Amino acid sequence: MAENEKMTGAEEQAAAPVPETAEGAPAEEVKDERYSWYVVHTYSGYEDKVKTNIENTIVNRHLEDKIVEVRVPVQDVVEYRDGAKKTVRRKLFPGYVLINMDMDDETWYVVRNTRGVTGFVGPGSKPVPLSDAEIKPLGIKTENNMTVDFGVGDTIAVVSGVWRDTIGAVQRMDFSKQTATINVELFGRETPVEISFAEVRKVDR
């Protein structure tokens, strides 16, 4: 597909302008309104590489609030070889990667131009979000009852657990695991760590 045709596809996907989120609004409300699960097709055997490349791009381009999760669904399969029983992990959908994202021109371009990606799944390569019925068999939750009053960029304090009394800025939110990632100093260098939503509170500045 020619580059100008790609951009036309992106423009078709541009949704109506997303209203500004009021300061202090629960983060999961933004997630419900903006994010949907999409499927991208990859070259055979490139699923994990695509996942890693997109996650690296998220950090490098500061897209944590637009692309919130990249998943390669797997399942455990029991095999019998030479009379021995062995459990192996296999990809549930070889050649496909699931992405929970806020679809706009920027995120479309980033994902579509990731090495190993051949295109979004949809008519004419036009990205179509998965429906609740399609998501359910994958074990992906579409609702989240956890309420938090902070988001990416906010400063939080850890009030319990191993990192108690640590203060840091939120680098990433993972609503599927209900964790926030902050950088902490470990062995003289900053290291990202995941902290449970239940163990932190927002620091008012």
Can you give the CATH number for the domain in which 79 is found? 3.30.70.940
- Write the CB contacts of 55 (distance below 8 Å, at least 6 apart in sequence): 70
CATH code for the domain of 172: 2.30.30.30
Write down which residue in 112, 138, 164 finishes a domain: 138
Taking only the tens place, the pLDDT of each residue in 78-125 is 766 665 677 877 888 889 999 999 999 999 999 999 999 999 988 876
Write down which residue in 84, 105, 138 finishes a domain: 138
**Domain shared by 85 and 181, yes or no:** no
| pLDDT computed for residue 153 by the predictor | 86
- Say if pTM beats, i.e. exceeds, 0.85: no
Q: How many domains is the chain partitioned into structurally?
A: 2
Distance CA 152, CA 136 (A): 27
**Domain shared by 113 and 180, yes or no:** no
Distance CA 125, CA 104 (A): 15
Domain span including residue 174:
155-202
Distance CA 17, CA 136 (A): 29
Residue range 166-181: mean pLDDT, rounded = 84
Reading the block at residue 86, the tokens are: 């062995």
| pLDDT computed for residue 136 by the predictor | 72
Residue range 40-47: mean pLDDT, rounded = 92
**Domain shared by 191 and 116, yes or no:** no
Residues in the chain: 205
Residue 13 has pLDDT above 50, yes or no: no
